[in-house]
Every structure is written in C-alpha cells, then in structure tokens.
Structure 1
Amino acid sequence: MATHKCNISFSHVQVNYLAPVYGVEFFIALLGNGFAIWLLMPRGSKKSHAGIIFSLNLAVSDLAYALSLPLLVAYYTMGKNWVFGLALCKVERFLFNCNLYGSIFFITCISANRCLGIVYPFYARGKVESKHAKVASVIVWLFVATIAAPVFKFSTTKDEGAVTECIGTAVDGMLTTYLPYSLFLAGFGCALPFVITLFSYIGIARAVWKSHGLESREKRKVVAMVCIVVALYSISFLPYHILRNLNLANRQYPPSCARSSYVHSAFQITRGLVALNPCIHPLLYTSVMDNVRARLGCCQGHGEKNSEDIRL
C-alpha cells in the first residue's frame, strides 16, 4: 500500500509540474535559439571568431532539444502515457543528454576561450583561430554523442496497466549497471567541466580586477557572464546530477516512502530547471551582440573593431 501511495505522489508531481513547464520552455527556447542561430550564422567570406562558433553550436544543441519538448508535454498531459513508440522514447532521452552535456561542454569552451582572450590576449590573438574552434566543436559533439549513446540501451518503455511509461533512466532490474554510468556522467560530464569553468572565471576576475585598460562596458559583460554561468550550475546542473543519483540510490535501496517521495519530487523540479537552460542560454549570446550588429550593419564604422576586439 505504501508503494502505491508513493507512485501516486510521483505521478502527481510530474503531471502537474512538468507538463506546463515544458510547454512554456518550448516556446521560449524555440524563439530564442532560432533567432540566435539566425543572428550567429556566418555571412559572407569573413571568418567568425571562436566565441561565435561555440555560441552557434550551443544554440543548435538547444534548438534540437527544444523540438523534442512537445513529446514530453503530450506525455505528461496524457497522464504519463507514452504513445509515440519505443524508438522515439529512446531518441528523446538521447537528445536530452546530448543537449545537457553539449550545453555544459560548450559553456566550458566559451568560458575557457573568454579566459584566454582576457588573461592571455596576445596568445589568444595569434593562436586561437576559428579553425581551432571548429575542430573543438566537432570533438565536443563526438564526445557528447558517445557518452549519451548508452541511453539507447537503458531507456525503454514499460506498460503500467492502462498506460505506457517512457523510462528516462533505467528499469529497476538494470539499476546496478545504470547507477555507475550515472555517476560517471555526474563526475566527468558535469563536475570536471564545472571545475574548468570555475577556474576560468577566477582567472578572468583577477585579470579584470587588475586591468586598467578594459572599458566599464567590457567589465559589465564579464560580470554578467560570471553571474549567468554560476546561476546555471547552482540552480540546475549540479542539483540535477546530485538528486538524480540520490533518487537512483533510493530506488535501489528503498528508504521510507516519505523520504523517497521528497527526493523524487525535488528531482522532478531540477528536471524542469535543466530544461530551462535553452531559454537562458540566449543571454550568453549578448556577449557577441556587437559582432552581430556589425554584421547587420547596425554599427557601421565600429563593427570591424568590435569584431576583432570582443571575444566570448
């Protein structure tokens, strides 16, 4: 009887919270990232700098995931009844993981590139070129697809009476194998990039604090970037990975019903916050708005200078 009550609580949180949240996030992410891609796409023969290339890849990743959100909206609106088949269940979970870890690693690339541009400007100007950013982007995509690929094995559909659930993690019988994989994703896919990003911004903060040559506008950009990235990690990336693994551990070694329900409900909240990232990421593109304006002819006479001097 206790297990039945817990299951009702789980479904209640998912159906009443995730369905409307995903619906709102779909429209915001679709409009924001679609517009960002249009702005950031290269025009003419002029090469884009590394910051724009990484931002473009981040926007493409976000848009791909946003296009899968209507499936989840329908799923939770119909009371967790997946009617789209096993293949689309696996594809949706794969897109989610690709977006999640693609976002994390492209943010890391943006942060490291920004650090090089501010802390080591002479080195970055001569050594970091658009071709390097393109190679790095391909490596990120291949790596992200590789670490997300096991979801095709673990994710599946499961009949629960009159409804069919799309299992985003793994069924109970595969938890022994899935939990180490989930811990690997938390460590190598989230914690390690977070450390790199954190040290990048520590270096940026020190350089900005000591610099007398940066304009106040540039310093505000740096502060905004730091605040956005720290917020992304603190409210979504880190809590999501911590609560996902705690929820998996609770499934493998069930505690009390109340504790299990609280952890599961908190985990569902972080799922909504993680999906909020594609809505927030367009704010990161404001760091290249000068370059975008130059391309659109809005800042004639200053566009060439900004295109060379302003780096993500």
Structure 2
Amino acid sequence: MDAENDSVFLNGSSLVEVDVFSNLQDINLTADGSLVLRCLICVVYSVVCAAGLMGNLLVLFFTRVRQERKKSRVNFFVLNLAVTDLQFVLTLPFWAVDTALDFSWPFGDAMCKIVLSVTVMNMYASVFFLTAMSVTRYWSVASALNNSAVRKSCSAKWVCAIIWTLATLATAPTPIFSTVTNVTGEKLCLLRFPGGQYWLAVYHIQKILVGFVVPMCIVSISYIMLLRFIQNRSMRTSNPRRRSQVTKSVTIVVLSFFLCWMPNQAITLWSVLVKLNVANWDRAYYVVHTYVFPVTVCLAHTNSCLNPIIYCLMRKDFRNKLRALVRRG
C-alpha cells in the first residue's frame, strides 16, 4: 500500500494513526501492535468502565440530592460532567473489543459513527465543563473577597446549554467523515477527509487548540488570578476553610486532566507536523505511535471517566454519604 492510501483510525477522542508507507520494511519493526500491550489496555478499559459506571451514577445521585437542597452552579456543572462521562463510559466496551482485535472494527459503519461521536463529544464537553467550573470558582471567591453583592450573571443552565452546543459543533466532522474501510484486509473505523492529509491535520489542530490549549489557558489564568486574590486580601466569609477545600478539589481535577491529556496532545501535535511535512516520518515516529500512543489514549480515556469521581471524593459530605451507603450494604 502506498502513501495515497494512508488512513487514520479514531480510538475514542484520540487518534490512533494507521499510516502504511511503501518504505515500512525499512523501519525494521513489525507492523502489529504488542499483544501484551493490547491485552493490558483491554483490562484497563474494563476496570475503568466498571469503576466509571458505578462512580458516575453515585455522583449523579449525590450531586442531584445536594443540588435540590442547595443551589450551586459548580454542583450543576459537576452534574453535567458526570452525565457526559457516563455516556463515554458506555463506549469503552466497544474500544476494548476493538483493541483486542488489533483495531479491527467489528460493529459496522453506523456504530462507528455513533461511538466515535459520543467519545469525541465527551472530550470536548469534559474540558469545557472543567473550564466553566474553574471560572465559576474564581468569580465566586473574587466576589466574596471584594465583599461585593451578588452580581447578575448568566444562568448555569444557559452556560450548560452553550457548552453542549459548542461540543456538538466541534464534534460535527466526526460523524460526517468517519467510516468503516477495508485496509489490507482489515475493517478499520476511519476518519477520512476528501482533502487528504491537509484536512486531517486541520482536524488535529482543532482538537489540540479547542480541546486542550485554549481551555487550559483560561483555567490557568483563572487560578493565577484566584491565588492573587487569596494572597493579597483576607477571606471575608463565614467559612473560609470550606471554600478553600472546594478550590483545592477543583484544582486537583484540572491538574489530573492536564497530566492525563498532555502526552496524548503532544504526540498528536507531532502527527500534525508530520502531515504538514514539517517533521519526518521515521523510526521514532513509528515506534511512538505503535507502542506509546495507545498508552496515552488509555490514560486520556481513564481521566475522562473519572473526573466527577475525583472531584466528589475530595468533598467530605460525599465521602460520608459513601461510607454510610457501604455500611448499609
């Protein structure tokens, strides 16, 4: 197969590239992924699916009860974050089977489009909700530190509606251009653009910028400004310790997202440079995409399932309710 038939396989919200070049034999490596690595990833997907399903359902239940008792914008964002991550958890069995079959897609073209769309939308929605949570925390603490009255702001429901709309628009190319295609006798779930590598590179760039760089910049600015407020002014609130704990928990969620997604985004950027002929396709590129990139996909997927759980486990009331539930069981 020559370079004209290069394709890209989308494993969830990340891109696992299946680049087959005429000089593949010069790489002196097998084209098949490691069986041990694929089995390990399948096990991780199964564990994360079980933990994510149970954890996100508990988060939905406890957060919903808390939201009914006390209205909170952050809690409403956590509720939506749990919903989108729960949807993503349900796609993991498909990716586990796909990985076990060495990325051979057995579920047909319709499921290829559906599963890819859900996973990509989850990636965008998750980071958008994390960004909204960070900005909301800054606004809340800054208002308290300034001893200002509650100012009119956009309703949390409207913010969530905007986030879901943006995530849907960002995901739009996925169901349009994803398809199941025979490549060297294997049925692969591919994202194929009519313009070839150029539009594929644009798709990658959108993922890097919209799904990672821009949101992380907003989050970083929010937290830098928040730290400046805390350092320069005294906390004028009846429960400063509580507010500090909530801020800490949101910070941990954001940092976990950054650390889990950074390797995947870095390799994706390398892929963009290769497609734009800025970097060379060589042995190092092949080895990284064959053996390292699947691990970064697994790491990113794990984070996407566990965001609400990490956030809620930092909260004492959630831990107390969880202990009570376990004791009753």
Q: Normalized against structure 1, the TM-score is what?
A: 0.81
Q: Distance in 1 between matches of 2:124 and 2:36?
A: 25
**Match of residue 9 from structure 2:** none
**Match of residue 255 from structure 1:** 281
**Match of residue 125 from structure 1:** 150
Verify: 1:198 aligned to 2:200, yes or no: no
**Match of residue 279 from structure 1:** 306
Shift of the alpha carbon at 1:51? 1.0
Q: Distance in 2 between matches of 1:230 and 1:283?
A: 11
Shift of the alpha carbon at 1:46? 5.6
Q: Distance in 1 between matches of 2:272 and 2:293?
A: 10
Shift of the alpha carbon at 1:62? 0.1
Verify: 1:237 aligned to 2:261, yes or no: yes
**Match of residue 56 from structure 1:** 79
**Match of residue 200 from structure 2:** 178
Once the two structures are superposed, what CA deviation does each residue of 1:8-49 show, in whole Å capped at 9, x if it has no partner? Answer: 254658624432221121111111111111112258976632
Tell me the amino acid that sits aligned with residue 92 of structure 1: V
Q: For the structure 1 residues 77 and 175, does the alpha-carbon distance in structure 2 shift closer, same or farther, using more than 3 Å as the test?
A: same
- Aligned equivalent of 2:211, options 172, 189, 205: 189
Q: Distance in 1 between matches of 2:203 and 2:53?
A: 31
Which moves more between the two structures, 251-260 or 102-111? Answer: 251-260
Shift of the alpha carbon at 1:78? 2.5
Once the two structures are superposed, what CA deviation does each residue of 1:57-89 show, in whole Å capped at 9, x if it has no partner? Answer: 100000001001111111112232211101111
Q: For the structure 1 residues 44 and 34, does the alpha-carbon distance in structure 2 shift closer, same or farther, using more than 3 Å as the test?
A: closer
Q: Distance in 1 between matches of 2:93 and 2:106?
A: 13
Judge conservation of contact 1:19–1:77 (CA < 8 Å) in 2.
Answer: yes
Judge conservation of contact 1:15–1:76 (CA < 8 Å) in 2.
Answer: yes
Q: For the structure 1 residues 44 and 251, does the alpha-carbon distance in structure 2 shift closer, same or farther, using more than 3 Å as the test?
A: closer
Q: Normalized against structure 2, the TM-score is what?
A: 0.77
- Aligned equivalent of 2:113, options 87, 90, 99: 90
Shift of the alpha carbon at 1:272? 1.0
Tell me the amino acid that sits aligned with residue 265 of structure 1: Y
Q: Distance in 1 between matches of 2:283 and 2:36?
A: 15
Q: Distance in 1 between matches of 2:182 and 2:42?
A: 20
Verify: 1:22 aligned to 2:45, yes or no: yes
- Aligned equivalent of 1:68, options 91, 102, 110: 91
Tell me the amino acid that sits aligned with residue 183 of structure 1: I
Shift of the alpha carbon at 1:158? 2.2
Q: Distance in 1 between matches of 2:111 and 2:141?
A: 44
- Aligned equivalent of 2:270, options 240, 243, 246: 246
Judge conservation of contact 1:158–1:164 (CA < 8 Å) in 2.
Answer: yes
Tell me the amino acid that sits aligned with residue 260 of structure 2: S
Once the two structures are superposed, what CA deviation does each residue of 1:66-124 show, in whole Å capped at 9, x if it has no partner? Answer: 00111111111223221110111111111111111101000001001111110113557
Q: Distance in 2 between matches of 1:291 and 1:125?
A: 27
Verify: 1:208 aligned to 2:198, yes or no: no
- % identity of equivalent residues: 23
Bigger helix fraction: 1
Which moves more between the two structures, 89-98 or 280-289? Answer: 280-289
- Aligned equivalent of 2:136, options 113, 120, 124: 113
Judge conservation of contact 1:40–1:292 (CA < 8 Å) in 2.
Answer: no
**Equivalence map 1:291-306=2 (5 Å):** none
Q: Distance in 1 between matches of 2:263 and 2:23?
A: 27
Shift of the alpha carbon at 1:251? 5.6
**Match of residue 54 from structure 2:** 31
Verify: 1:3 aligned to 2:24, yes or no: yes
Q: Distance in 1 between matches of 2:246 and 2:67?
A: 27
Q: For the structure 1 residues 107 and 137, does the alpha-carbon distance in structure 2 shift closer, same or farther, using more than 3 Å as the test?
A: same
Shift of the alpha carbon at 1:183? 0.6
**Match of residue 164 from structure 1:** 187
2:111 is paired with a residue whose SS is helix
2:150 is paired with a residue whose SS is helix
CA RMSD of aligned residues (A): 3.1
Q: For the structure 1 residues 140 and 38, does the alpha-carbon distance in structure 2 shift closer, same or farther, using more than 3 Å as the test?
A: same
Once the two structures are superposed, what CA deviation does each residue of 1:152-185 show, in whole Å capped at 9, x if it has no partner? Answer: 2332222234531222x44797322121122122
Judge conservation of contact 1:208–1:219 (CA < 8 Å) in 2.
Answer: no
